C-alpha cells in the first residue's frame, strides 16, 4: 500500500469512533499501515512502577489508527482531500491536493 501521508500532516478522521476529529500526524508506521495522530484514539494503559515512572498507575496515551481512516486536510479549503502524485519538470515526484490542485509540502 502506498502511504501518501507523512509525519506533520494535518488529517481528519473519516470513519470510526473519532469521525470528524482533526489532528496532526505524530508518527507513521508503514509496515503496519497505521499512523499515530495527536489527541486521537486515546487509550488507558495500566503500568507497574519502574525506575522511570515511580508512581505507576493508569496512563493515557495515543494508539495508532489505520491509515485508510485518515484524510489529509487541504490548507486552502480546510476540508479533507485526496492526495495525488505529480512528476515535476525536474523529474521529482510531489504530492498534490486533488481538491485544490495545489502542491502539498
User: Domain of 18: which CATH number?
Assistant: 2.30.30.30
pLDDT tens for 57-82 read 999 999 999 999 999 999 888 999 99
Cell numbers found for residue 23: 489532528
Quick count: other Cβ atoms within 10 Å of Cβ 99?
16
Number of domains in the chain: 1
- The range of the structural domain enclosing residue 72 comes to 10-50+57-80
Average pLDDT score over residue span 12-22: 94
User: Would you call 69 exposed, middle or buried from its count of C-beta atoms within 10 A (0-12, 13-18, 19+)?
Assistant: buried
Average pLDDT score over residue span 6-11: 94
Distance CA 87, CA 62 (A): 35
Distance CA 90, CA 70 (A): 30
In a domain, 15, yes or no: yes
Amino acid at each position: 500500500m502506498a502511504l501518501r501521508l507523512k509525519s506533520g500532516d494535518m488529517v481528519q478522521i473519516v470513519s470510526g469512533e473519532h469521525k470528524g476529529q482533526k489532528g496532526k500526524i505524530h508518527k507513521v508506521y508503514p509496515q503496519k499501515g497505521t499512523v499515530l495522530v495527536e489527541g486521537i484514539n486515546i487509550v488507558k494503559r495500566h503500568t507497574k512502577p519502574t525506575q522511570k515512572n515511580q508512581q505507576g498507575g493508569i496512563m493515557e496515551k495515543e494508539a495508532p489508527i489505520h491509515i485508510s481512516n485518515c484524510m489529509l486536510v487541504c490548507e486552502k479549503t480546510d476540508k479533507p482531500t485526496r492526495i495525488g502524485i505529480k512528476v515535476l519538470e525536474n523529474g521529482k515526484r510531489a504530492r498534490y491536493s486533488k481538491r485544490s490542485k495545489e502542491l502539498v509540502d
